[in-house]
Structure 1
Amino acid sequence: MSLPPGFLDELRNRLSITQVVGRKVIWDSRKSNQAKGDMWAPCPFHQEKSASFHVDDRKGFYYCFGCHAKGDAISFVQNTENMGFMEAIELLAREAGMQMPARDPQAAQKADQNQRLAAATEAAVGFFKLQLQTAAGAAARAYLEKRGLDAATLTRFEIGFAPPARQAGFGALTAKGIAAEDLIGAGLASRPDDGGAPYDAFRDRIIFPIRDARGRCIGFGGRAMAADARAKYLNSRETPLFDKGRALYNHGPAREAAGKGQPLIVAEGYMDVIALVKAGFEAAVAPLGTAVTEDQLRLMWRMADEPIIALDGDKAGIRAAMRLVDLALPLLEPGKTLRFCILPEGQDPDDLLKARGAEAMRALLEGAEPLVRMLWRRETEGQIFDSPERRAALDQRLRKCIARIPDQGLRRHYGEALADLRRALFRPPQQGQGPRQGRGDWRARGFAEAQTPLAETRNSALGSGTLGADDLRITLILATLCRYPALIATFEDDLERLDPAQPAYGALVDLLIATRASDAEALAAECGQSGLSETHESLRSMPHLRITPILIGPPDPEKARACLTEEFAKYHASRALAAEMTEALEDLENMAEGDSRLVRRLNHAVQTRHRAGRGATVQASGTVSEDTAALSKGLHALIEARVWEKKSR
């Protein structure tokens, strides 16, 4: 069976040879560099102990320096699975999610046609380069010089010029023996509707050749010299060689530079890429006049795990970033993501490099925001969340977004990151101090300053002592840290995850994290200066704390440390169970009848909570303790009731 042209190229683009080979070998972590796709292992084709088998993920090939076996993902499957060529193709196509093509008796003719079209585009590259040096290209040369492109840059990117004459290119290329139909098929010429003589597709334009990952010229981009041109930039039309949604400008050189450790930068246009490369950022690519497509995103991830999207800071650039967030979410997987570098408004990379230099660009790239921040920014920026309904609407939007992420573990981490940002937004900063790095920048949008506890706060459930288990635990933790400030550094990460119900206690958490106090008296003074003295005093007056040994009598830092370790563990386990139950009950809508996975999830969460609370859930006989079994039984009953309710709708 003959395969259509481009099918094998697409298959190789979609598959990572590291994943294919990784099913049969154990990588040598000392020699391998996963970030660069440079992997080493003992050879699967002959017995050895040294890691002489090399896989280059970016080039898609393997080679053994011992037995000299070499090939690509297809030949590897053939040799390791004892398959024929078409069997290996079918197996890999299923893995890549590609439909096997129907038998095509004309595949050989199509392959021959593609070779002729590639020859036509290559001849056109030489023609356009030559025209840039003629008198007709003087204005184009002046423009390029004004943009800062020297002779070396023009040569490197093979920049040329299409003269304004209607048939200049067509006549010159046919005179060299290129068939008229091949020029039309390659998108270099068009035939008028009236059947007249073909005319050039590019006229009076600066020409940028577009090459694929293998270095073939597949099409062109042209910038108009005339100010009144209908399109400032024009790409080749779709041809058997050129699909602008599946190609990237500067693909091959950028892939090589990214393999050497340079960050992959995705800019908006040809001139941005050229400016970045000229400034030393050689792993730069651009989509071809359209928004980034799914195929282009996959091509980027083949080059680098975290491409940096460099966009203008204007409204159009922000909209493009947000569209890309939506495109990327269902395609994310562990280790594959995007970062966003939003440039100052009104500047593209070319403008920024000319105005402030390479160091300014590098600083912006190093500060690029992760995708989760862009998602949060889109859902919160410019909005006010001063009511439960608005906050609930925000929660609903965020849940819908992260539900599109296919990997369960990655989805959970996104949920945790967004929960941290949400707590930071809705918790007021402590009075008199600026926002803390990583949390306060978002929180400051919701609150101007921390509020002094009001009478309503002192008369609330928190002040009266009628608290839930988690609230009681939080007050014990805060009181202990107020008496033993030296332990704050030890439990800072745990303290960051506390989420008190009362704003006054949230402000106290912030103060504890930011404090430099060395003893309880100094901390009490800081509380007074921050307007939290009443909050600090209220901790001492709570009935369940007045009899706590580590808070009365002689100080005992070791007992306090043990107490905090236990209380934090109980708090985190309780919160995790609540979150798991909420998520699991939402999943009931999609749960199939008889599906036991949800039950196992809840049982695991229950037992984790019980271990934190009592130190042991499973008895010596291997049975679950009575209270844990009762809670599990109750969860089973709740699940059955919800399933019955769902079926009866």
Structure 2
Amino acid sequence: MSLPPGFLDELRSRLSLGQVVGRKVMWDSRKSNQGKGDLWASCPFHQEKSASFHVDDRKGFYYCFGCHAKGDAISFVQDTENVGFMEAIKILADEAGLPIPQQDPLAQQKADKRTQLIDIMEQAVQYHRLQLQTGQAAAARDYLAGRGLSPDAQTRWEIGFAPAHGGVMAHLTGKGVDPKLVIEAGLAAESDRGGAPYDRFRGRIMFPIRDARGRAIGFGGRAMDPNHPAKYYNSPETALFDKGRSLFNHGPAREAAGKGKPLIVAEGYMDVIALSEAGFTATVAPLGTAITEDQLRLLWRIAAEPIIALDGDKAGLRAAMRVIDIALPLLQAGQSLRFALMPDGLDPDDLIKQQGASAMQKLIDAAIPMVQLLWQRETEGRNFDSPERRAALDKALREKVLLIQDPSIRSHYGQAIKDLRWALFSARKSAPRHGAQRAWMANKDPWRREISPVATSKNSILGAGGASEDHLREAVILATLICNPSVSPDFESALERVECRDQTHQAMQACILRHLGADDLKSAIIAEIGAAPLENLLGQSHVAISPAVRKAGNMETARLCLAEEFAKLAARQGHAREIEDAVEDLSGTADEGVTWRLAQASAALDKAGRGDNEDKAEYETGENGALMNKDERSAFDSLLNQIAFEKGSARSK
């Protein structure tokens, strides 16, 4: 709404900033000179002992010499009451007795109608509160007491009761209220059969719903009849009430959040009341619907990171997942959600009653970010043991991340999911697959404890020299990526497939994947695992003489070196896996098919491990002068083709 010129000046001239601020602070009598409008107090915006907050009442400005907060009466109300600009204007205009100009006569009529309806709703609140003390409401009082609500708490929350017969319609019309206005307020409805209007709320405990300014705009009613199909029932859409744009306990929660309390979003009225009574005063609830876009925007106006605390049952989890889909396109920097999931079968009210407020505080403190719940939704209870299933996971997550409009947040979400994906699949790679490996995990000494001749055969075939050679190649690959970080994104898939046996190599591999494409991988590695491992890696002689390390920064040399090293490592490890599979198939008497496979794989592994001067006829020269056998050359060409394809796909997007 636009305000006419001069209105704000008139508003400021009618107000005393000292009076507005004086409601929130205690003036320091030693430093202040009230006669001159020179006022000092401890700052309401930060914790301090000295009086560094200064108000110049004559000029209408304040300034804090500690935190540098400054402004006028409007900004002070905005910041201390946690309200928007127009709401601050309305608060101050009411205080100054200055009516806010209406835009046109029709707007004035609507405002007058709203004022009438609000007055009717306030009368209804008082009527229902009185009804709670009557004999008809005995069962309702017993229910509230059983839920742990004392009479004082019932008064604080203005809880009432709607009798089954002769309710609010008869009461209000008996006081001269136009029946049409009672219907427009949502308290009564026209009969479909042409009879007299009837009360919408009958035989229900009544919870008043107030807007951010504390005005009664609707009701929520809980049925006392356990067999009633609608356990909870809200006011219909009216000129006052839009349930998709309203929050239960909006005003008090906004004020509490402005004082530093975490904003919690619960599921229903009783959860809000239980949490607030337990000290979590910045708690709200949507009104009978899943959280809407408009409600999310309201929440973000109150706090940057609301905590969604939904029930721990399947319905609560489904509601949390729906919130994610609504929130993703709306995310902005510094504006997100966290989730505190209740134990299965408990809501916040149950948890506080059974385990106390401290248990709820622990859940709030441990609330997880939205990206983690998104990952949980797509992965929990599912098996990703095939490329197709992993591809389906990637597609589902990619579609969700692409919903995010903010490019910076979209990038960070992609990186976070990449980290979670790496953690999931690297854990699967390192998980024990065979009996001897399970023994190693449990006893740290598999081969000594393993007495099977099959395992002995496998170990003699694989040999120790091959593992040593793999270790050397891994070192060259990691050093090349670290010294030439800009090429690392091209080899992400190849690096993910490497199964490093050395723990230091594993840590470096994980760090490179986490910081893929970063300008300074060395600093990232030092920060995560220390400087010594990196110095040891780069100081190894076979690493130091590698062209891609010696000539760091030559991207073409780095790419060719990496492609060849990955190809040789892939060829060798592929043959090694064939041997492992063949050995696992050996039980009792070996059949001819398995022994043939074992012999072929063993011969291929032997070729993969030969020196560059052996059997040169079976080798050809690689791009940077190294000899490569046919399997290695095939892996090399395949890797280069894959990189070229991925780059082309990226450009087309």
Match of 1:490 in 2: none
Q: Is the 8 A contact 1:462 1:502 kept in 2?
A: no
CA radius of gyration, larger in: 2
CA shift, 1:52, in A, is: 3.5
Question: 1:253 and 2:252 equivalent?
Answer: yes
Distance 1:52 1:73, change over 3 A: same
**Aligned runs of 1:298-377 on 2, under 5 Å?**
298-377=297-376
Distance 1:510 1:261 in 2: 42
Question: 1:106 and 2:95 equivalent?
Answer: no
**Aligned runs of 1:159-558 on 2, under 5 Å?**
159-165=159-165, 167-428=166-427, 455=462, 463=470, 470-471=477-478, 473=480, 501-505=497-501, 507-509=503-505, 545-547=540-542
Distance 1:510 1:363, change over 3 A: farther
Distance 1:47 1:329, change over 3 A: closer
Q: Is the 8 A contact 2:121 2:217 kept in 1?
A: yes
Match of 2:83 in 1: 59
* 1:363-394 alpha-carbon deviations (Å, 9 max, x no partner): 01100100010111111111111122222222
Distance 1:147 1:318 in 2: 24
Distance 1:248 1:548, change over 3 A: closer
Matched position secondary structure for 2:220: strand
Distance 1:161 1:240 in 2: 24
Q: Is the 8 A contact 2:476 2:543 kept in 1?
A: no
Question: 1:143 and 2:139 equivalent?
Answer: no
Distance 2:45 2:648 in 1: 47
Distance 1:74 1:413 in 2: 42
TM-score, normalising length from structure 2?
Answer: 0.59
Match of 1:518 in 2: none
CA shift, 1:106, in A, is: 3.3
CA shift, 1:114, in A, is: 1.3
Distance 2:413 2:286 in 1: 28
Distance 1:104 1:293 in 2: 31
Match of 1:158 in 2: 158
Q: Alignment length, in residue pairs?
A: 449
Matched position secondary structure for 2:212: coil
CA shift, 1:51, in A, is: 5.1
Tell me which amino acid in the other structure corresponds to 1:239.
Answer: T
Distance 2:55 2:386 in 1: 61
TM-score, normalising length from structure 1?
Answer: 0.60
Distance 2:542 2:426 in 1: 30
Distance 1:506 1:240, change over 3 A: farther
Distance 1:503 1:121, change over 3 A: same
CA shift, 1:235, in A, is: 0.5
CA shift, 1:160, in A, is: 0.1
Match of 1:582 in 2: none
Distance 1:465 1:289, change over 3 A: same
Q: Is the 8 A contact 1:213 1:252 kept in 2?
A: yes
Distance 1:74 1:513, change over 3 A: farther
CA shift, 1:168, in A, is: 2.3
Aligned residues: CA RMSD: 5.0
Tell me which amino acid in the other structure corresponds to 2:427.
Answer: P
Distance 1:458 1:118, change over 3 A: farther
Distance 2:463 2:399 in 1: 36
Distance 2:443 2:172 in 1: 72
Distance 2:442 2:221 in 1: 51
CA shift, 1:110, in A, is: 2.1
Which consecutive unaligned segments of at least 5 residues does structure 1 have?
4-29, 35-39, 64-69, 76-84, 90-102, 434-446, 478-497, 515-539, 552-562, 579-633
Distance 1:640 1:380 in 2: 26
Match of 1:614 in 2: none
CA shift, 1:188, in A, is: 0.5
Distance 1:461 1:236, change over 3 A: farther
Matched position secondary structure for 1:295: helix
Distance 1:225 1:51, change over 3 A: closer
Distance 1:411 1:421, change over 3 A: same
Distance 1:233 1:354 in 2: 22
Q: Is the 8 A contact 1:42 1:53 kept in 2?
A: no
